[in-house]
């Protein structure tokens, strides 16, 4: 019997795929017994944490056909801040693109890279991986997609390369980060482990992971690369004062974005307002006028409409599972049997379960809040360090961000880059496979050295 290669698997359109997942989630509410953990408010993290050993059955709340459909607008409502961020960013960048400033920048960079275009691969990966390491950047990368697409096309790279260089690298950086506050940081707080403990070990593994990822992207790009276009275009290479002013505004926008997220606790509402303002200023400097700027914003909204839909549909999957009261049941059912296995097998199994759980719980911080309170006492009972459980969570959940269709940021960026999900998954599943093996090796070494 001949096995079907993943290359031959035809994946449906992302919206169809997500709708299928919503249907499966609704069916699961009829098959999986409803249950819940008791929760307490943690003063350190400021979040409600599940109480280990408190799982109990609750009244069934199976999701019917119409309730399943209602979950879609509910998902859009819950993800509204992200969706409107995507809309306003798309509008702002359409305005900036309309002024010709982005083309001028790309033409200038392309000319400087003649014969050295492959240097873009490690440079971009290190940049975006660093953003992932520091702040778990994902949706925040969406504003950079138009520039990356223009650059990749001019250098002969395909659209998938733009995805791999940006959010792919950011996910890898975040998954192996020693300091990411939304993954390792919150997990260490919940597990009552000293913040930044084990940072040296994680940094070594991070460097190895980024090197492997860079090598894989480099190989892929070499195979798919077309002849770069280095024709000189004097009109666009010679920046006008307006171009320079617009790019200056864009640079300041990203400076304030980083400061806002890292220093001022900005959320998507503040970031969206920032890009809206940047788009207006760019339109004025670029001479588009009031009407031209408004029309450009509208065109940008249209371009991002599909990406917004994908984010809302992805969130609807969690809405169905949460309203069906089976999220806790799934978590309890996955971890309880594994704890009875030999220690090393248990650790590997827990890592695998963290990846699987990330499908219904696509938030890494939400997954930490749900699973770490359960795994912390389990680590104590098994006689292993809590740090090992954090590694299992970090590598399992973090790397799953590459492949789960419930990750709204990935789906939105794929849509913006016009990369089919099937094409991405054929690339990403190989990356996930190799890097999860690296993660398991790291867990084995960490146990051996009593991290």
The residue written with tokens 């920048």 in the block is: 105
C-alpha 21/C-alpha 13 separation (Å) is 12
Domain around 78:
10-50+71-448
Provide the greatest CA pair distance for the chain: 70
Count the alpha carbons within 13 Å of 417 in the hemisphere toward its beta carbon: 34
State the pLDDT at residue 260. 87
Domain count of the fold of the chain: 1
Count the alpha carbons within 13 Å of 251 in the hemisphere toward its beta carbon: 8
State the pLDDT at residue 2. 47
Yes or no: say if 363 and 389 are a contact pair by the CB < 8 Å rule.
no
Helix residue spans in 225-285 (DSSP H) = 234-237, 241-263, 268-285
Q: Which residue has the higher pLDDT, 69 or 362?
A: 69
Residue 232, pLDDT > 70, answer no
Per-chain mean pLDDT for the chain: 88
Asked if the structure places residue 274 within a domain, the reply is: yes
Task: Categorize the per-residue pLDDT at 5 as very low, low, confident or very high, splitting at 50, 70 and 90.
Answer: low
Other beta carbons less than 10 A from residue 237's beta carbon? 17
Task: Categorize the per-residue pLDDT at 381 as very low, low, confident or very high, splitting at 50, 70 and 90.
Answer: confident
Asked if the structure places residue 57 within a domain, the reply is: no
Strand ranges, E, within 95-249: none
Lowest mean pLDDT among 31-35, 114-118, 165-169, 393-397: 114-118
State the pLDDT at residue 29. 96
C-alpha 21/C-alpha 99 separation (Å) is 41
Q: What's the CA angle centered on 63, arms 60 and 67, to 5 degrees?
A: 140
- pLDDT one-digit tens code per residue, 295-324: 999 998 988 888 889 889 989 999 999 999
State the pLDDT at residue 236. 44
State the pLDDT at residue 9. 67
Yes or no: say if 141 and 209 are a contact pair by the CB < 8 Å rule.
no
* Closest C-alpha to 283, from 260, 299, 305: 299
Asked if the structure places residue 3 within a domain, the reply is: no
Count the alpha carbons within 13 Å of 299 in the hemisphere toward its beta carbon: 13
Segment 125-137 shows an average pLDDT of 89
State the pLDDT at residue 103. 83
Yes or no: say if 169 and 124 are a contact pair by the CB < 8 Å rule.
yes
Q: Which two tokens stand for residue 73?
A: 């607008």
Asked if the structure places residue 374 within a domain, the reply is: yes
Residue 3, pLDDT > 50, answer no
Residue 442, pLDDT > 90, answer yes
Asked if the structure places residue 302 within a domain, the reply is: yes
Segment 380-409 shows an average pLDDT of 91
Residue 43, pLDDT > 80, answer no
Task: Categorize the per-residue pLDDT at 230 as very low, low, confident or very high, splitting at 50, 70 and 90.
Answer: low
Residue 80, pLDDT > 70, answer yes
Segment 279-297 shows an average pLDDT of 94
Q: Hey, which of 268-272, 343-347, 429-433 has the most confident mean pLDDT? A: 429-433
Burial 364-401 (b: 16+ CB within 10 A, else e): bbbbbbbbbbbbbebbeebebbbbbbbbbbbbbbbbbb
Share of the chain above pLDDT 90, in %: 50
Task: Categorize the per-residue pLDDT at 181 as very low, low, confident or very high, splitting at 50, 70 and 90.
Answer: confident
C-alpha 39/C-alpha 44 separation (Å) is 15
Residue 331, pLDDT > 90, answer no
C-alpha 395/C-alpha 424 separation (Å) is 20
Segment 44-53 shows an average pLDDT of 76
Asked if the structure places residue 435 within a domain, the reply is: yes
Asked if the structure places residue 349 within a domain, the reply is: yes
Segment 224-233 shows an average pLDDT of 66
Say what the pTM is.
0.85
Residue 197, pLDDT > 50, answer yes
Report which secondary-structure segment, H or E, holds 336: helix 327-338
Q: Hey, which of 152-161, 245-254, 371-380, 427-436 has the most confident mean pLDDT? A: 427-436
Segment 403-420 shows an average pLDDT of 91
The residue written with tokens 């400021």 in the block is: 46
State the pLDDT at residue 391. 96
Task: Categorize the per-residue pLDDT at 221 as very low, low, confident or very high, splitting at 50, 70 and 90.
Answer: very high
Q: Which residue has the higher pLDDT, 308 or 231?
A: 308
Task: Categorize the per-residue pLDDT at 1 as very low, low, confident or very high, splitting at 50, 70 and 90.
Answer: very low
Task: Categorize the per-residue pLDDT at 238 as very low, low, confident or very high, splitting at 50, 70 and 90.
Answer: low
Segment 258-276 shows an average pLDDT of 88
Q: Which residue has the higher pLDDT, 42 or 54?
A: 54
State the pLDDT at residue 129. 95
Q: Which two tokens stand for residue 13?
A: 């359109």
State the pLDDT at residue 109. 80
Which residues, at least 6 apart from 207, have a Cβ–Cβ distance to it below 8 Å? Answer: none
Asked if the structure places residue 102 within a domain, the reply is: yes
């Amino acid at each position: 019997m001949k096995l079907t290669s993943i290359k031959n698997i035809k994946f449906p359109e992302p919206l169809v795929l997500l709708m299928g997942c919503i249907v499966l989630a609704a069916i699961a509410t009829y098959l999986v017994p409803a249950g819940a953990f008791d929760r307490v408010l943690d003063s350190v993290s400021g979040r409600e944490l599940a109480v280990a050993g408190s799982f109990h059955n609750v009244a069934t709340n199976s999701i019917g056909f119409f309730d399943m459909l209602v979950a879609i607008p509910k998902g859009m409502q819950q993800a509204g801040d992200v969706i409107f961020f995507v809309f306003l960013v798309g509008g702002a960048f359409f305005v900036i693109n309309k002024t010709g400033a982005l083309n001028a920048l790309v033409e200038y960079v392309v000319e400087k890279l003649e014969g050295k275009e492959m240097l873009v691969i490690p440079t971009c990966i290190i940049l975006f991986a660093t953003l992932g390491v520091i702040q778990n950047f994902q949706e925040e990368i969406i504003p950079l997609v138009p520039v990356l697409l223009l650059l990749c096309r001019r250098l002969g790279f395909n659209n998938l390369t733009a995805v791999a260089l940006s959010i792919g690298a950011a996910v890898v950086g975040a998954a192996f980060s020693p300091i990411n506050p939304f993954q390792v940081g919150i997990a260490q707080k919940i597990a009552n482990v000293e913040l930044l403990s084990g940072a040296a070990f994680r940094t070594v593994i991070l460097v190895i992971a980024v090197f492997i990822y860079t090598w894989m992207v480099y190989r892929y790009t070499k195979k798919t690369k077309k002849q770069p276009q280095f024709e000189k275009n004097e009109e666009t290479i010679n920046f006008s004062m307006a171009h320079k002013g617009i790019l200056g505004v864009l640079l300041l926008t990203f400076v304030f974005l980083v400061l806002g997220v890292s220093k001022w606790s900005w959320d998507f509402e503040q970031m969206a307002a920032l890009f809206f303002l940047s788009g207006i200023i760019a339109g004025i400097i670029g001479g588009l006028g009031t009407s031209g700027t408004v029309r450009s914003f509208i065109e940008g909204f249209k371009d991002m409409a599909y990406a917004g839909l994908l984010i809302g549909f992805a969130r609807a999957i969690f809405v169905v599972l949460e309203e069906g009261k089976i999220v806790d049941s799934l978590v309890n059912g996955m971890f309880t049997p594994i704890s009875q296995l030999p220690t090393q097998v248990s650790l590997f199994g827990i890592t695998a379960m963290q990846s699987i759980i990330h499908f219904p719980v696509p938030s890494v911080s939400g997954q930490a809040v749900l699973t770490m309170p359960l795994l912390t006492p389990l680590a104590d009972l098994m006689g292993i360090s809590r740090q090992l459980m954090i590694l299992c969570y970090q590598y399992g959940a973090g790397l799953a961000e590459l492949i789960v269709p419930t990750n709204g940021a990935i789906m939105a960026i794929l849509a913006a880059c016009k990369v089919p999900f099937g094409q991405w998954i054929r690339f990403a599943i190989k990356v996930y496979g190799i890097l999860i093996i690296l993660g398991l090796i790291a867990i084995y070494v960490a146990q051996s050295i009593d991290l």
